[in-house]
Chain A
Amino acid sequence: MSNDKEKTEYVSYLEHQGKYKGIFSWIFTMDHKRIGLLYLYAIVALFFVGAIMGLLMRIELIAPGETIMKPQTYNGIFTVHGIIMIFMVVIPGLSVVFGNFFLPILIGAKDVAFPKLNRFSWWIYIAGCILAVASQFMKDGPPDTGWSFYAPYSTSTGTNVIMATFAAFVLGFSSILTGLNFIVTIHQLRAPGMKFFNMPLFSWAIYATAWTQLLATPIVGITLLMLIAERLFGIGFFNPDLGGDPVLFEHLFWIYSHPAVYIMILPALGIITEIIPTFCQKKIYGYKAIALSSLAIAGVGFLVWGHHMFTSGMSNQARWFFSLLTFLVAVPSAIKVFNWLATMYKGSIDMKPPFLYALAFIFLFTIGGTTGLLLGSIATNVQVHDTSFVVAHFHYIIFGGMGFAFFGAIHYWLPKMYGRMYNMRIATIAWGIIFVGFNLLYFPQFIIGMQGMPRRYFDYLPQFQTGQVISTIGGFILIIGTVIMVYNLIKGARSGEPAPANPWHGSTLEWQIPSPPSLENFDEALAIKSNPYDYE
Chain B
Amino acid sequence: MFSSASNFVHGVDKAFLIIGGFSIFFLVSFTIIMIYFVVKYNRKKHPKATQVKDNTWLEVTWTTLPVLLVIFMFYIGWEGFLPMRQVPKDAMEVDAIGKMWSWVFEYPGQKQADTLVVPIDKAVKVNLISRDVIHGFFVPAFRIKEDVVPGQTNFSWFIPGELGEFDLFCSAYCGVNHSYMSAIVKVVPQKEFDKWYAALPVKKKEDDNLGLKVIDKNGCTACHSLDGKSSVGPTFKGLYGSQREVTENGKTKTLTADSKYITNSIYDPNKDVVSGFPQGVMKSYKGIIKEEDIKLVEEYLKSLK
Residues in B with CB closer than 8 Å to A246 are: 133-134, 149-151
**Assuming the A-B contacts A346-B41, A377-B19, are A72 and B133 also in contact, with contact meaning beta carbons closer than 8 angstroms in the complex?**
no
Instruction: Pick the residue among A139, A280, A366 that contacts B41 (CB under 8 A).
Output: A280
**Assuming the A-B contacts A282-B51, A327-B70, A377-B73, are A367 and B37 also in contact, with contact meaning beta carbons closer than 8 angstroms in the complex?**
no
Is the C-beta of A48 less than 8 angstroms from some C-beta in chain B? no
CA separation between A290 and B230, bound complex, in Å?
60
Is the C-beta of B43 less than 8 angstroms from some C-beta in chain A? yes
Residues in B with CB closer than 8 Å to A159 are: 280-281
Taking a contact as CB atoms under 8 Å apart, the answer to whether B134 and A280 are in contact is no
Which residues, 231 to 261 on B, are CB-close (under 8 Å) to A? none
Which residues, 439 to 461 on A, are CB-close (under 8 Å) to B? 450-452, 454-461
Taking a contact as CB atoms under 8 Å apart, the answer to whether A158 and B167 are in contact is no
Q: Taking the nearest CB of chain B, how far is it from the CB of A495, in angstroms?
A: 28
Q: Taking the nearest CB of chain A, how far is it from the CB of B152, in angstroms?
A: 6
Question: Which listed segment binds B: A124-132, A202-210, A318-326, A419-427?
Answer: A318-326
Number of residues from A at the complex interface, CB < 8 A: 94
Q: Taking the nearest CB of chain B, how far is it from the CB of A127, in angstroms?
A: 24
Taking a contact as CB atoms under 8 Å apart, the answer to whether B30 and A385 are in contact is no
Cβ contacts A to B, 16 pairs, < 8 Å: A156-B133, A240-B150, A241-B150, A241-B151, A245-B152, A311-B136, A313-B147, A327-B70, A334-B62, A341-B33, A348-B46, A362-B34, A373-B22, A379-B76, A455-B173, A458-B179
Instruction: Pick the residue among B23, B70, B173, B179 that contacts A374 (CB under 8 A).
Output: B23
Is the C-beta of B204 less than 8 angstroms from some C-beta in chain A? no
Residues in A with CB closer than 8 Å to B144 are: 382
Taking a contact as CB atoms under 8 Å apart, the answer to whether B151 and A245 are in contact is yes
Is the C-beta of B71 less than 8 angstroms from some C-beta in chain A? yes
Is the C-beta of B174 less than 8 angstroms from some C-beta in chain A? yes
Q: Taking the nearest CB of chain B, how far is it from the CB of A190, in angstroms?
A: 23
Interface string of B1-40 (1 = CB under 8 A from A): 0000000100110011001101110110011011001100
- Chain B minimum-CB-distance residue to A157: B283
Taking a contact as CB atoms under 8 Å apart, the answer to whether B15 and A351 are in contact is no
Taking a contact as CB atoms under 8 Å apart, the answer to whether B145 and A359 are in contact is no
Which residues, 166 to 225 on A, are CB-close (under 8 Å) to B? none
Question: Which listed segment binds B: A99-107, A144-152, A254-262?
Answer: A144-152
Is the C-beta of A2 less than 8 angstroms from some C-beta in chain B? no
CA separation between A500 and B122, bound complex, in Å?
75
Q: Taking the nearest CB of chain B, how far is it from the CB of A356, in angstroms?
A: 10
Q: Taking the nearest CB of chain B, how far is it from the CB of A153, in angstroms?
A: 4
Is the C-beta of A289 less than 8 angstroms from some C-beta in chain B? yes
CA separation between A140 and B34, bound complex, in Å?
52
Which residues, 53 to 70 on A, are CB-close (under 8 Å) to B? 70
Q: Taking the nearest CB of chain B, how far is it from the CB of A156, in angstroms?
A: 5
Question: Which listed segment binds A: B78-86, B91-99, B187-195, B292-300?
Answer: B78-86
Instruction: Pick the residue among A72, A247, A313 that contacts B146 (CB under 8 A).
Output: A313
Taking a contact as CB atoms under 8 Å apart, the answer to whether B134 and A349 are in contact is no
CA separation between A456 and B133, bound complex, in Å?
16
Residues in B with CB closer than 8 Å to A328 are: 67, 70
Taking a contact as CB atoms under 8 Å apart, the answer to whether B51 and A378 are in contact is no
CA separation between A140 and B54, bound complex, in Å?
60
Residues in A with CB closer than 8 Å to B281 are: 72, 141, 157-159
Query: What range describes how many residues of B lie at the interface?
Result: 35 or more
Q: Which 8 A-B pairs have the closest CB atoms?
A: A452-B140, A240-B151, A377-B77, A379-B80, A141-B280, A370-B23, A327-B70, A378-B81
Q: Taking the nearest CB of chain B, how far is it from the CB of A94, in angstroms?
A: 23
Taking a contact as CB atoms under 8 Å apart, the answer to whether B15 and A387 are in contact is no
**Assuming the A-B contacts A370-B26, A380-B12, are A386 and B70 also in contact, with contact meaning beta carbons closer than 8 angstroms in the complex?**
no
Taking a contact as CB atoms under 8 Å apart, the answer to whether A327 and B178 are in contact is no
Taking a contact as CB atoms under 8 Å apart, the answer to whether B37 and A150 are in contact is no
Instruction: Pick the residue among A153, A345, A385, A454 that contacts B175 (CB under 8 A).
Output: A153
Is the C-beta of B171 less than 8 angstroms from some C-beta in chain A? yes
Number of A-B residue pairs at CB separation under 8 A = 280
Taking a contact as CB atoms under 8 Å apart, the answer to whether A373 and B23 are in contact is yes
Instruction: Pick the residue among A158, A286, A324, A378 that contacts B59 (CB under 8 A).
Output: A286
CA separation between A287 and B48, bound complex, in Å?
21
CA separation between A309 and B22, bound complex, in Å?
25
Is the C-beta of A3 less than 8 angstroms from some C-beta in chain B? no
- Chain A minimum-CB-distance residue to B74: A327
CA separation between A176 and B74, bound complex, in Å?
34
Taking a contact as CB atoms under 8 Å apart, the answer to whether A156 and B283 are in contact is yes
Residues in B with CB closer than 8 Å to A335 are: 59, 62-63, 66
Instruction: Pick the residue among B30, B74, B150, B279 that contacts A362 (CB under 8 A).
Output: B30
Interface centre among A157, A379, A535 (most CB of B within 10 A): A379
Is the C-beta of B112 less than 8 angstroms from some C-beta in chain A? no
Interface string of B266-291 (1 = CB under 8 A from A): 00011000000011111110011000
Residues in A with CB closer than 8 Å to B8 are: 379
Taking a contact as CB atoms under 8 Å apart, the answer to whether A337 and B77 are in contact is no
Taking a contact as CB atoms under 8 Å apart, the answer to whether B154 and A454 are in contact is no
Is the C-beta of A160 less than 8 angstroms from some C-beta in chain B? yes
Taking a contact as CB atoms under 8 Å apart, the answer to whether A323 and B43 are in contact is no
Residues in A with CB closer than 8 Å to B151 are: 240-241, 244-246
Is the C-beta of A71 less than 8 angstroms from some C-beta in chain B? yes
Taking a contact as CB atoms under 8 Å apart, the answer to whether B150 and A327 are in contact is no
Taking a contact as CB atoms under 8 Å apart, the answer to whether A334 and B136 are in contact is no
Residues in B with CB closer than 8 Å to A289 are: 59, 63
Taking a contact as CB atoms under 8 Å apart, the answer to whether A234 and B31 are in contact is no
- Chain A minimum-CB-distance residue to B177: A71
CA separation between A372 and B240, bound complex, in Å?
55
Instruction: Pick the residue among A157, A331, A450, A455 that contacts B67 (CB under 8 A).
Output: A331
Residues in A with CB closer than 8 Å to B50 are: 346
Given contacts A141-B279, A312-B147, A320-B74, 8 further A-B contacts (CB under 8 A): A320-B78, A335-B59, A345-B37, A359-B38, A373-B73, A379-B12, A379-B79, A382-B81
- Chain A minimum-CB-distance residue to B269: A158
Instruction: Pick the residue among A347, A379, A451 that contacts B15 (CB under 8 A).
Output: A379
- Chain B minimum-CB-distance residue to A383: B143
Interface centre among B8, B74, B288 (most CB of A within 10 A): B74
Is the C-beta of B42 less than 8 angstroms from some C-beta in chain A? yes
CA separation between A160 and B143, bound complex, in Å?
36
Is the C-beta of A354 less than 8 angstroms from some C-beta in chain B? no
Taking a contact as CB atoms under 8 Å apart, the answer to whether B270 and A140 are in contact is yes
Taking a contact as CB atoms under 8 Å apart, the answer to whether B73 and A327 are in contact is yes
Residues in B with CB closer than 8 Å to A536 are: 51
**Assuming the A-B contacts A349-B41, A377-B19, are A146 and B173 also in contact, with contact meaning beta carbons closer than 8 angstroms in the complex?**
yes
Q: Taking the nearest CB of chain A, how far is it from the CB of B65, in angstroms?
A: 10
